[in-house]
Amino acid sequence: MSKQYDEKFKLLIAQQCLRRDASPGEVARQHGLDESIVRQWRDSYQQHGKLGLRRKYTHRSAAFKLTVLESVWRDGLSHRQAAVLFDIRERGAIGRWEQQYHSGGPSALTPKRKGRPPMIRKPPSPPLPPDEERSQEELLEELAYLRAENAYLKKLDALIQEKRAMTRDKKPKPSKD
């Protein structure tokens, strides 16, 4: 997980970079940061001011993602430039969107729900009509099904009992010394 920096620190770094005497590489080395993140903070500050350095939690539509990608391809923007232009603060988001687009087309850009999928409740089966209203054929069919189910359960129980008996016989008997 990436380290979270507060807004004041990002502002200090961005302002240091904007001074004519300090390059992003020098500022990054001074503070032990990656040069690309320093450039990103500098560019976000230039484009959006202090608001560009705040954390931002948004859900983006597939149409927005497609607009960003088309802008990257049409205008020859780098991912970093597009992130600054469209105020996308999540690192690597545009690259991930590009991979999704190439693997599944525009439909792959639609946001996915996170977490466990909701339980789907099956509608209850319709109640069976009373036996008096059913035909003899339907009753015989149900009887055959119930007999097969009963035989299966009896066989399963017999196999379980047999397995238990075998494990009891295999247990070593305690020796008396």
Cβ pair 111, 61 in contact under 8 A: yes
Q: What residues make up the domain containing 159?
A: 136-169
* Together in a domain, 47 and 3: yes
Q: Does any domain span residue 119?
A: no
- 110's enclosing H/E stretch is none
* Together in a domain, 39 and 75: no
**Cα 20 from Cα 9, distance rounded (Å):** 19
Cβ pair 142, 148 in contact under 8 A: no
Q: Does any domain span residue 21?
A: yes
How much is the pLDDT for 1? 42
* Together in a domain, 84 and 104: yes
* Together in a domain, 48 and 64: no
Domain count within the chain: 3
Question: Which residues fall within 8 angstroms of residue 139, CB to CB, at 6 or more apart?
Answer: 131
Q: Does any domain span residue 74?
A: yes
How much is the pLDDT for 174? 66
Cβ pair 7, 50 in contact under 8 A: yes
Q: Does any domain span residue 122?
A: no
DSSP letter for 87, please: T
Q: What is the pLDDT of residues 111-161, one digit of tens each?
A: 877 788 888 888 888 888 888 888 999 999 999 999 999 999 999 999 999
Out of 11, 31, 55, a domain closes at 55
Mean pLDDT per 10-residue section of the chain, whose length is 177 residues: 73 79 81 84 81 73 90 89 82 88 87 82 85 90 95 96 86 64
Q: Does any domain span residue 174?
A: no
**Cα 77 from Cα 72, distance rounded (Å):** 5
* Together in a domain, 50 and 62: no
How much is the pLDDT for 145? 95
In percent, how much of the chain has pLDDT > 70?
A: 92
How much is the pLDDT for 130? 87
How much is the pLDDT for 36? 83
Residue 44: closest CA among 56, 28, 26: 56
* Together in a domain, 7 and 42: yes
